[in-house]
A and B are shown apart, each in its own frame.
Chain A
């Protein structure tokens, strides 16, 4: 009778090799230097976290009508609470703010419709680019359809920040694409014009462009013709971001293999046909993350309009800091602003990373 060999079941790994203890030993205490670093980090956390929670949550005051309501030892969130509407809409009349909200809701709905497969994306894009801005313009500024007119000087707060960012990026997109194509064209004049424009804009800070827009545009226009300040600043922002957008799109154009250009030519397509049907759809897909990053940069840069005297989100908070009823709430205002900007930018950067992974189709060339 043959004896059947029965291996005894393998022992579990020692508790020092798996589980939380091993994890701590491996990741926190693997060498003397690591032990020192761990202790140092824990000390930093100890210094930062408990006082922060105490200040921001435990001792904080949430409601009140002036800084007298606030205890000295905690954050005075009542300040944010009482100024909330101004931070969001600037001096937009408070009974009219529904117009801003409505425009935003329509935009969100329109963008959300991209998720529905049955709707033609091309027509949807056309709707967003053409009728929507006109509708939004009338909603914001009024003066038609029985809406009370609201002058642009009253627009402000987060509303203005988002407006500047979105218009800046949307309008700079076609301009940037043209500039990028021009820079790669083999017509020397077109190339020179585009290179000079792009490199000049990229060499100077946004602030000089904004100064130029607010001070010099009136000098360059004939008497009688004048834009309001918002439009002037918008022109500056669009010119600025179109130069950066052009460089991002150029990166995409360069990543398309030469064979694609040659194949399009061999099919007998004209320049504009081959660009709009073959090259740009591939190139733009490659640079979507870059475009999102440009948008993040632009969104942060819109704070600079405060320097030329417009009250965007940061500008409104900075102005509210001078309110004598709320002296001593500077930190709260900045923390709130930082949190909002951070949430927007961090969210967008994560979105761009996810998009990058999703669009990775493996035919990138370097």
Chain B
């Protein structure tokens, strides 16, 4: 039957399937061998240095202070607790940074598109300056040049009840009195009511086409109900004002200069990148869309909100995600100016004191990995929600 031999099947050496199988087996063998080689060296090195692997060190007392801690922490606490403190510091700075950078980015992106020539030029200068200077340099600048040049606590700048000096920004700290939970309950109830109102307004609009100012009225509801609950409980909130003493400031809350420097540098730097993303997103929406909206009789504000913004968001979201990821990763630069975040506490102090290189670096990489993963999962979900539903 099959007299004529298929020339391509002369030898199994020329078969694409066999070749790829062989290649993959070889590749896998190399990868496994390299891993094995590195780990056997590691084992030998750790043995010869007398380092025991494992996470037992997390239960030992840390013995070093951490200046900025949102949960209680003393030197007697464990390394595990110190890790938690650092983790919270990283999360807080990333979250606040993302919020601030988004606000700055949107404002600067819109300003660069402004019809006012001067405003557009100023925004361009801001964007092109900040995004071309290394972030670490900007952090140094804020920390060592700007904040370090502020006056001593005795000569603090004062604005209302706020104090500004070398040791940071002091603000009044709220002290809750008895009955504060009533005010909180009022706030929660008002939010539930406004969510219900928004859902009802949306349903009614789809059914009848009648529009209801749901957002403005829910804002009113929240303010009024919360205030009423607050008043009913007898204003259960007092403020502890910061005041100058001879060499220091007592009372109030303080934002330490490390925190301020990292936050300002992160948000202004990332903001300049977000500004470019916002600008590109808005420019990507065809001018015809705006013209069509106008010819339908929509006001300028409605055109922006209902026509331009939803379409621009689709272009904006994917690069925005990667900027958020960058910001979270860049928060690690705080280590350079002693902001006690993950890298400085875990890979700096803990590593130096315990010598547990594998565990500490592994922990850090794990945390940043999961932080990146969760941001990108959230943004992917948001992207899916905003994306065009094609039929």
Query: Which of B38, B117, B134, B140 contacts A28, CB < 8 Å?
Result: B117
Complex alpha-carbon distance, A222 and B45, angstroms = 8
Known contacts A203-B373, A300-B134, A341-B137; decide if A220 and B41 are in contact (CB<8 Å): yes
Give per-residue flags for B336-375: 1 if the beta carbon is below 8 A from chain A beta carbons, else 0: 1000000100010001000001100100110011001100
Q: Which residues of A contact B336 (CB under 8 A)?
A: 306-307
B128 pairs with A301, CB closer than 8 A: no
A220 pairs with B329, CB closer than 8 A: no
B137 pairs with A204, CB closer than 8 A: no
Closest to B31 in A: A193
Q: Which residues of B contact A193 (CB under 8 A)?
A: 27, 31
Complex alpha-carbon distance, A306 and B372, angstroms = 25
Known contacts A220-B41, A331-B145; decide if A205 and B137 are in contact (CB<8 Å): no
Q: Which of A33-41, A69-77, A111-119 lies at the interface with chain B?
A: A33-41
Closest to A305 in B: B136
A216 pairs with B361, CB closer than 8 A: yes
Closest to B20 in A: A187
Distance from B65 Cβ to chain A, minimum over Cβ atoms (Å): 21
Complex alpha-carbon distance, A220 and B39, angstroms = 7
Known contacts A220-B38, A330-B145; decide if A301 and B361 are in contact (CB<8 Å): no
Q: Which residues of A contact B23 (CB under 8 A)?
A: 187, 190
Is B333 an interface residue when CB atoms closer than 8 A count as contact?
Answer: yes
Q: Which residues of B contact A321 (CB under 8 A)?
A: 144
Distance from B236 Cβ to chain A, minimum over Cβ atoms (Å): 41
Distance from B382 Cβ to chain A, minimum over Cβ atoms (Å): 19
Query: Which of B117, B136, B148, B372 contacts A27, CB < 8 Å?
Result: B117
Give per-residue flags for B225-243: 1 if the beta carbon is below 8 A from chain A beta carbons, else 0: 0000000000000000000
A44 pairs with B343, CB closer than 8 A: no
A220 pairs with B42, CB closer than 8 A: yes
Known contacts A41-B119, A203-B369; decide if A190 and B136 are in contact (CB<8 Å): no
Complex alpha-carbon distance, A216 and B365, angstroms = 13
Distance from A184 Cβ to chain B, minimum over Cβ atoms (Å): 14
Main secondary structure of the interface of A (DSSP, over half): helix
Q: Which residues of B contact A206 (CB under 8 A)?
A: 329
B368 pairs with A219, CB closer than 8 A: no
Distance from A263 Cβ to chain B, minimum over Cβ atoms (Å): 18
Q: Which residues of A contact B134 (CB under 8 A)?
A: 300-301, 303, 314, 341
Q: Which residues of A contact B361 (CB under 8 A)?
A: 208, 211-212, 215-216
Is A345 an interface residue when CB atoms closer than 8 A count as contact?
Answer: yes
What interface size band does chain A fall in?
35 or more
Q: Which residues of A contact B27 (CB under 8 A)?
A: 189-190, 193
Query: Which of B133, B148, B330, B365 contacts A338, CB < 8 Å?
Result: B133
Q: Which residues of A contact B190 (CB under 8 A)?
A: none
Give me 21 A-to-B residue pairs in the complex whose CB atoms sit less than 8 angstroms apart, sorted by A's number.
A27-B118, A28-B118, A41-B118, A42-B118, A189-B24, A204-B329, A204-B368, A205-B332, A205-B368, A207-B343, A208-B332, A208-B343, A222-B44, A307-B335, A314-B137, A334-B137, A334-B145, A338-B137, A338-B141, A345-B133, A346-B128
Chain A interface residues (CB < 8 Å from chain B): 27-28, 30, 34, 37-38, 41-42, 44-45, 186-190, 193, 200, 202-208, 211-212, 215-216, 218-223, 296, 300-301, 303-304, 306-307, 314, 318, 321, 330-331, 334, 337-338, 341-342, 345-346, 349
Kindly list 10 other residue pairs between chains A and B, CB separation below 8 angstroms, not including A30-B116, A219-B357, A337-B137.
A28-B116, A41-B116, A41-B119, A187-B24, A204-B368, A211-B351, A215-B361, A219-B358, A338-B137, A346-B128
